[in-house]
Amino acid sequence: MEPCNKCEVCDKLCEIVPEIAGTFKSLGDLTRLQIIYHLATDTSGTLGVSDLAERLGVSQPAVSQHLKVLRAEGLVDSRREGFYIYYTINRERMVQFREHFDLMYTSVMEKCNRELVRKSTRDRGIKACVIFYSFSGTTRTIAEGIRNAGGCDLIEVKTKTPYSSFTAYTTGVLRSRKKACDAIEPEEIDVSGYDLLIIGTPVWAWRPAPAINAAVKAMRGCEGKTAVIFVTCCNQPGEALPVLSKALSDRGVSVAAAISLCAEDTKKSDAGGELLRRIIAADPLKGTGEGTTTQGVKV
């Protein structure tokens, strides 16, 4: 299928929707869903038509017809052993369906998140930015998710001397424990034009990465601003949130919310949008008098 060229940014939904429509149709039957369930939970690998008919309480011809539909869509495979035919789930087709569904879900949620932002900022003209450092790409993905959902600005902090996988877990960890600052780009971060600062960092040795320590010191015009901070970590954030909160407080920034995202949180396809919803729920600018107009809404 040729690209439709109707969207500014092509998300390929116009190609995917027709492909997954058949899958939804084949799964839109209770008996066929039950067949998928029994095949998915079977550990023997020897479920045939008669076995499925007995478990479902329907006739063998009916099971055969349902299996025919599922096989035509590629969701079910079969193998013959002697006189018997056994059925299994087609893993590759299920993976493809999941990928297509996740892409559709992400696109839909981006639209829902934008509507959430519009509703929550209808009477407030708020300009926000996300200042972040990312080593593995996880924090960047979250920051971009916030940007995609809310339309705010992104300011990515990078170290002048990049870390390798080895130096990140040796030099980087030691510097993190010492609350040291790396040499970063940009060297100065002007935030005077923003109402809300969203600051994100990975957790290194239970503390913020050295690059974000430097970013806090590099901010200009931050006094009196309101911030929301978030950290990404494998499990527990340790001291990262209070350390970052204290550093911002020393710069005259008020931290309205501190959020930790574990590995399970960051793997969700709408992780950035979910974080944005949590930020909106915290209402960080409540009572500040910010945004009395409806112009230039950017959160």
213-251 pLDDT, tens digit each: 999 999 999 999 999 999 999 988 999 999 999 999 999
Digit-coded pLDDT (tens) for 75-132: 999 999 988 999 999 999 999 998 888 888 777 777 766 666 566 655 556 788 999 9
Look at domain 13-93 and name its CATH class.
mainly alpha
CA-to-CA distance for 298 and 279, rounded, in angstroms? 14
Q: How far is CA 121 from CA 114, 124, 287, 299, in A?
A: 11, 5, 14, 8
pTM beyond 0.85, yes or no: no
Q: Where in the chain is the domain with CATH 1.10.10.10?
A: 13-93
CATH topology of domain 126-282: Rossmann fold (3.40.50)
